[in-house]
A and B are shown apart, each in its own frame.
Chain A
Amino acid sequence: MFRFRWAVGGIAVLLPLSLLVIAGFLLQYSWPAIQFNGLGFLLNNDWNLGRMYGNPVTVRGELVLPGASYGVLFLIGGTLLSSLIAIALALPLGVLSAVFLSAGLRGVARAAASFLVELLAAVPSVVYGLWGYVVLIPFLGHHLYPLLADTLGRIFPAFAEPTGSGYGLFTAGILLSFMIVPLIAATLRDALDATDSALRESGVALGASRIEVMRHILLPGQRTVIAGASILALGRALGETMAVLMVSGNALNILPKNIYDPVSTMAAFIVSQLDSAMQDPTGMAVRSLAEVALLLMAISVLVNGAAQTLLWLSGRRA
């Protein structure tokens, strides 16, 4: 009688199952690396494959190359810093754009403008990377960064010289912010449009202008939506790979001293290190990369879970 329901349900289980299988396989594969690296993995700043032509030695029960050590503090720093810069730039940009789309335009212009913002999300990551590499980096390196160092740099040491070549933390943050703005803008615009029009009308009846209704009545009511969308966007920024890889400068084993310094992120590092990690005959380097992937997955699952919960609480998600 209910065979169809069971068949469809059986297929539906594949979805959550794939999440569990991914986590399970990553954990199982990286287990030797977790044993070998211990807590130093998170606290140390030395990714070193060891002497390639030395005889493997046994350390803490695992076979590794002599001198090998895997610490990824610089990756955690680079990932969090670039994502935080991205959010700091994208949040005001996204909220203001959503207000413009919701209150400033109507009719065809509004549909076209909304579509334009959503197209930003459709452009592939690697095309952003290409644009960042050939357009954004020369512009920032030659024009904006010297200017920033000259003005903000006098007040905030993080903005002071040297400005470098244009590759680095701030460039990655700026590029990431453009990639995540559409998510914030689109979610907030939908939420603003869905608010009860009686709220809007009562504001207008009290003599408030359209912008005052937005500022004092509509936006305060969307706090959870803004927070949820921002955290969702943060999760997107944490996992971005290709665009960051092409503009971040791929720093190894250093934490940035100022905002222009080269960095690397977990996602970009996994791509850039596979070739050299495969040279390791003991396989510990590839397993340590799996540990990086597992860490990245854990962070993004936490961040996404928090965002979903927030959006669910605000009633925007079923």
Chain B
Amino acid sequence: MSAVTPTGRRIDRARLRRRRFIDLAYWFAVAAAFTLLAFVLLHILGYVFVRGVQSLGLETFTTDTQGLAGGLRNAILGSLELSGFALLLAAPIGVSAGIYLSEWGGGWVGRIARFMSDVLVGVPSIVLGYFGYITMVLYLGWQFSMAAGAITLAILMLPYIARTSEMALRAQPWSLREAAYALGAGERRVVLRALLPAARGPIFTGILLALAISLGETAPLIYTVNWSNYSWNGHFTHEPVAYLTYVIWSYIGEPYASAHKLAYAAALLITLMVLVINLGARALLWRRR
């Protein structure tokens, strides 16, 4: 069936109807795909929050784990300390690498370094953990320890920080560099006084996201830090450390209700930390825009 428009064009109504139907089917498919993803995420978050809040108590924060019961003070502190030390190592190195790649990394050296740091992002964290195990735990004889874990996490964070810093610095306009050089500043001063302050928002965002990733890691720590029922005693080597993600994977497999409570509480705490850091990082970026 066809009709004619005032301008004389013929409209094939059956064809139009088929196009509308295909359009509708596509809209349905894309909305369904997104709904499924949103449902999964909200289910994970909701489940972890409900079970976690039920399992939290004051003693979660004030006592150490005792076997498969007790609190999580040792693990909370341990997670923060491990990621904190890793950040102290990775942030200056990563930002420096970002500066080099953005300012002088145009040649083949920079291109190779950039490619390799992108590849390093893709190396599975368990491989980094095994590397930490054979080099630091076995060869250097540090045993399961804070140092081995923090250095392993730092290697994991490095490429993220370097690449986000590079992107942040590159986004700064050439006129900024030209103005600084024109005022007679040397390379060091241009970078430290003009470029870094201008790019500090996105750089900080990258560092925060790397911190969130390291807080959520488990596999490399099983190999380098192991587990301790006590709070960290300040020794960087020869002393295992507790951390939250260990509690989740190891205690949920135990048959006791007290162990499950600890696992849910740990899952809630680590998820909250990661979400808060992510939200903070994005808020930082958003406010500066």
Contacts and interface: CB of A to CB of B under 8 A. Distances in A.
B257 interface: no
A313 interface: no
Contacts of A1: 186
Contacts of B118: 304, 308, 317
A18 B120 contact: yes
B131 A25 contact: yes
Interface in B87-131: 92-93, 96-97, 99-101, 103-105, 112-128, 130-131
Interface string A176-190: 001001000100000
Interface stretch (A34-42, A143-151, A161-169, A292-300): A292-300
B3 to A, nearest CB: 16
B42 to A, nearest CB: 8
B187 interface: yes
A301 B35 CA distance: 34
Contact of B271 (A96, A100, A123): A123
Interface stretch (A45-53, A65-73, A111-119): A111-119
A119 B122 CA distance: 19
Nearest to B97: A12
B178 interface: no
Given A96-B33, A130-B252, A293 B126 contact: yes
Contacts of B207: none
B77 interface: no
A4 B186 contact: yes
Which has the most chain A C-beta neighbours within 10 Å: B37, B121, B186, B218? B37
Contact of B100 (A8, A96, A115, A290): A8
Interface residues of B, number: 83
B43 A135 contact: yes
Interface residues of A, number: 83
A198 interface: no
A286 B275 CA distance: 37
Contacts of B159: 15
Nearest to B191: A4
A97 B34 contact: yes
Contacts of B48: 127, 130-131
Interface in A192-242: 209, 211-212, 215, 232, 235-236, 238-242
Contact of B113 (A15, A131, A215, A246): A15
A41 B47 CA distance: 42
A267 B130 CA distance: 10
Contacts of A16: 112-113, 116-117, 120
Contacts of A155: none
Interface string B28-68: 01111110111011011101100000000000000000000
A245 interface: yes
B218 A241 contact: yes
A19 B38 contact: no
Main secondary structure on A side of the interface with B: helix
A11 B97 contact: yes
Interface stretch (B19-27, B198-206, B234-242): B19-27
Contact of B130 (A11, A116, A293): A293
Contact of B245 (A26, A124, A211, A236): A124
B47 A135 contact: yes
B44 A113 contact: no
A126 B114 CA distance: 30
A126 B218 contact: yes
A13 B109 CA distance: 9
Contacts of B134: 25-26, 29, 290
Given A120-B41, A124-B245, A127-B248, A239 B267 contact: no
B33 A97 contact: yes
B168 interface: no
Which has the most chain A C-beta neighbours within 10 Å: B100, B121, B122? B122
Contacts of B105: 12
B245 A126 contact: yes
A265 B28 CA distance: 36
A14 interface: yes
B124 A296 contact: yes
Contacts of A290: 130, 134
A304 B271 contact: no
B216 interface: yes
B253 to A, nearest CB: 8
A304 B159 CA distance: 14
A267 B103 CA distance: 37
Nearest to B223: A274
Given A117-B34, A124-B274, 19 more contacts: A9-B104, A12-B97, A12-B162, A15-B158, A22-B123, A26-B127, A93-B37, A123-B45, A124-B218, A124-B270, A124-B271, A130-B248, A131-B43, A211-B26, A242-B249, A246-B253, A271-B223, A308-B119, A318-B170
13 contacts: A15-B97, A26-B131, A96-B29, A100-B31, A123-B44, A124-B270, A124-B274, A125-B216, A126-B216, A127-B44, A129-B248, A241-B218, A308-B118
